[in-house]
Structure formats: structure tokens, C-alpha cells
């Protein structure tokens, strides 16, 4: 086991710390960017990032949606993290403490708590910032079904992971130009109407920096709201870059541990690793899988994603026996297949 973080991670931490010291001399202060948390009736997971901002500024404010929606994507990637800052979370007066990591992130477990199932607000602050409201979803112990959804090429078109196209979409293209996948919002809404109280959790290899845009995109195109599990690009304690598939595998395993009673509908696309990751999870935790729904990319989308679709044909994912899987090109065609599948699995 590596005793010290990878060299690039140590360098990144030192650079972020030095930039922070300099900016604080010019009056910059902590600003909390709250993410959507979630949890069971026993344990709550609160997610946030602390960045530096000019004195008087705050974290991203949803009331300025129209201004942010007009911005080009690259602006949402640049921020200065507040390194090793003490953070406190207030849940009905109960205080939990944590420290930000080298990129300003905190992942705080609050247990026990007295929140009932449903949506709530908690407050996150540092000694140098005003409390910021963070939404959290408490999932009831009696909930037996939920949906986990990929984002890129599943609910919006981005043509990942071809780097040039992905970079153009992320850093140049205006947010308002992003295109939703037809019928997916309607599919999720129909499924959740059929299963009141079921959570929808968005799981993606995208960076946390894109979370404000993704939430605006979801709201603008009628997708149900839900917690997001994203990742942080850049060096890790063991290497230069984070592994997207490893992030998804770890998140799925965590959700299975936190909600052992829930059977998840796993929704993704065949443009990246979703079929393999979902099939692997189904083999390990079949009791936690209600079914798998895969959006099939068009030939041109496959070429943009892989350079060639041959790999997908030569090495198809194999769904475990007893686990149902359906495939279709969009949400309109997936919906009746998913409904029929869930009627069989959830009887």
C-alpha cells in the first residue's frame, strides 16, 4: 500500500495551498458550493466543495440561472480550492465537523440524524463563510426500488470519450446548446410516477465542476431531480488521473451497502463502459438489481465515441442469468420495454 500520496497529488496540493495564501492577502474568502446529498434514515451523506472567492461573493447561486446558462462551458471549470479548511454541517442543530481535501472537497457522514424521509435542507459553513444551504434526500427504509442513471450520452449528448469532441462540448459550447436524449426525461418521470418515493441518482464520470450546469440542464429539460455522484479530475493518491470505471464501481458498491433493501434499475448507454460495469455489479449483487436499460448509440455516435464500433461487436457485455436487460435508441422506445421488465422483476 502506498504510504505517501502520488507525487503529482502532492504537487497539486502545494500549488493550491500557495495560490490560496496569495489570494487571501487580497481579501478573498471561503465560499461553499453545496452539492445534493442523500442518505438513509440512519446515515446522511453531505457533499460540498469550498473554494476561494472575492470578498462578498458566494458559491454558485441558482437564482442567477439565466446568467450562468449563457456562459461558455470552460468558465465552470476554473476555481481555486480552499485546502485543509475546517467545515461544519448543521442538521437540526446537530454539528458535524470535517476538513476539506487538497481540492476543497468534503464528503461528510452524519449519523444519527432525525430527518424523516423526503427532501430537506442542511447548512454547511467554514469559519470564514456564511452558512450555505445544501439539499439532501433521505430515502425511507421502506423504499424497495430506485433508479441509477448515467449522464453523458444517456440523458444528454456529449460524444464522450473522444477528447477533442468532449473538450469542445465541455469548454467551448454554450450550455444552452446541449441536447437532451429524446424521451429520457419522459421515461424517468413515468417510472417514478409508477413507484412513488423511489429515488433517482445520477452517476457519472464527469467532474464535480460540471454539476451546476448539469442541474440546470436537468431542470430545463424536465428531468426529475436527484443526487449526483460525480468525480474530481486530476491526480489521485496513486496516479496521474482518476479512473472513471473505478468511480462508478465504487459508487454502486456504496449504494448497495447503504441501501441493501433497494433493487436498482441501472440505466446507461453502450458508448462507454456502462454495459460491462452494470453486468459486473449484477453478478456481484443480483439482489440489488431490478434490471438494466441501455440506450443504444447510433453508428455515428459510436464512431465519435470509440473511433470504430468494432470493439463493441467483438466484446459484448454479458448480462448474468436471471437479470433482465433491455436496449433501445432513446427513452420513447425504452419506456415500454422497461415497464414490462419491471413488472416481471418487481412482482
pLDDT band at 274 (very low <50, low <70, confident <90, very high): very high
Place of cell 477533442: 164
Nearest CA-CA partner of 225 in 261, 255, 258, 189: 189
- Rounded to an integer, the average pLDDT of 29-48 is 93
pLDDT band at 30 (very low <50, low <70, confident <90, very high): confident
CA angle 68, 71, 72 (to 5 degrees): 140
- Rounded to an integer, the average pLDDT of 143-151 is 97
Give 214's strand partners: none
Question: Pairing state of beta strands 44-53 and 37-39?
Answer: antiparallel
**What pLDDT score does 238 carry?**
45
Q: Which residues contact 160 (CB under 8 A, 6 or more apart)?
A: 152, 153, 166, 271, 272, 305
Res 326 pLDDT > 50: yes
CA distance linking residue 158 with residue 135, whole number of Å: 27
**What pLDDT score does 208 carry?**
85
**What pLDDT score does 299 carry?**
73
Rg (C-alpha) for the chain, rounded Å, is 20
- Rounded to an integer, the average pLDDT of 338-346 is 93
- Rounded to an integer, the average pLDDT of 125-138 is 91
Nearest CA-CA partner of 69 in 223, 213, 219: 213
Q: What is the pLDDT of residues 84-98, one digit of tens each?
A: 899 999 998 899 999
- Using DSSP's 3-state secondary structure scheme, residue 184 falls into helix
Q: Which residue has the higher pLDDT, 287 or 243?
A: 287
220-243 burial, b if ≥16 CB within 10 A, otherwise e?
eeebbebbbbbbbbebbeeeeebe
pLDDT band at 51 (very low <50, low <70, confident <90, very high): confident
* Average pLDDT taken over every residue of the chain: 81
CA distance linking residue 313 with residue 318, whole number of Å: 12
**What pLDDT score does 120 carry?**
96
Q: What is the pLDDT of residues 204-252, one digit of tens each?
A: 988 888 888 888 899 999 999 999 999 876 544 444 445 678 999 999 9
Res 59 pLDDT > 50: no
Phi-psi region of 175 (alpha: psi -120 to 50; beta: other; left: phi over 0): alpha
> Which percentage of the chain shows pLDDT scores above 90?
51
Amino acid at each position: 500500500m502506498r504510504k505517501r500520496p502520488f507525487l503529482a497529488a502532492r504537487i497539486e496540493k502545494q500549488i493550491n495551498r500557495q495560490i490560496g495564501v496569495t489570494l487571501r492577502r487580497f481579501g478573498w474568502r471561503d465560499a461553499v458550493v453545496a452539492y445534493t446529498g442523500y442518505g438513509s434514515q440512519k446515515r446522511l451523506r453531505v457533499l460540498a466543495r469550498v473554494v476561494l472567492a472575492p470578498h462578498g461573493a458566494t458559491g454558485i447561486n441558482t437564482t442567477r440561472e439565466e446568467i450562468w446558462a449563457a456562459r461558455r462551458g470552460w468558465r465552470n471549470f476554473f476555481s481555486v480550492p480552499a485546502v485543509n479548511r475546517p467545515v461544519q454541517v448543521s442538521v437540526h442543530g446537530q454539528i458535524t465537523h470535517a476538513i476539506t481535501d487538497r481540492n476543497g472537497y468534503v464528503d461528510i457522514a452524519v449519523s444519527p440524524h432525525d430527518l424523516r424521509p423526503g427532501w430537506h435542507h442542511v447548512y454547511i459553513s467554514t469559519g470564514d463563510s456564511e452558512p450555505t444551504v445544501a439539499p439532501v434526500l433521505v430515502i425511507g427504509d421502506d423504499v424497495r426500488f430506485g433508479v441509477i442513471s448515467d449522464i453523458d450520452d444517456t440523458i444528454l449528448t456529449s460524444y464522450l470519450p473522444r477528447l477533442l469532441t468532449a473538450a469542445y462540448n465541455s469548454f467551448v459550447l454554450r450550455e444552452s446548446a446541449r441536447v437532451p436524449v429524446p424521451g429520457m426525461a419522459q421515461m424517468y418521470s413515468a417510472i417514478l410516477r409508477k413507484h412513488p418515493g423511489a429515488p433517482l441518482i445520477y452517476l457519472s464520470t464527469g467532474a464535480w465542476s460540471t454539476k451546476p450546469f448539469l442541474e440546470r440542464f436537468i431542470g430545463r429539460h424536465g428531468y426529475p431531480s436527484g443526487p449526483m455522484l460525480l468525480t474530481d479530475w486530476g491526480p489521485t493518491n496513486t496516479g496521474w488521473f482518476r479512473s472513471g470505471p473505478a468511480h462508478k464501481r465504487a459508487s454502486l458498491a456504496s449504494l448497495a451497502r447503504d441501501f441493501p433493501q433497494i433493487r436498482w434499475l441501472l440505466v446507461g448507454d453502450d458508448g462507454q463502459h456502462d454495459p460491462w460495469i452494470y453486468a459486473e455489479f449484477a453478478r456481484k449483487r443480483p439482489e440489488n438489481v431490478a434490471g438494466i436499460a441501455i440506450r443504444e448509440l447510433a453508428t455515428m455516435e459510436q464512431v465519435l465515441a470509440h473511433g470504430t464500433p468494432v470493439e463493441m461487436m467483438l466484446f459484448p457485455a454479458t448480462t448474468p442469468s436471471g437479470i433482465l436487460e433491455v436496449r433501445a435508441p432513446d427513452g420513447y422506445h425504452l419506456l415500454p420495454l422497461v415497464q414490462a421488465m419491471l413488472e416481471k422483476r418487481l412482482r
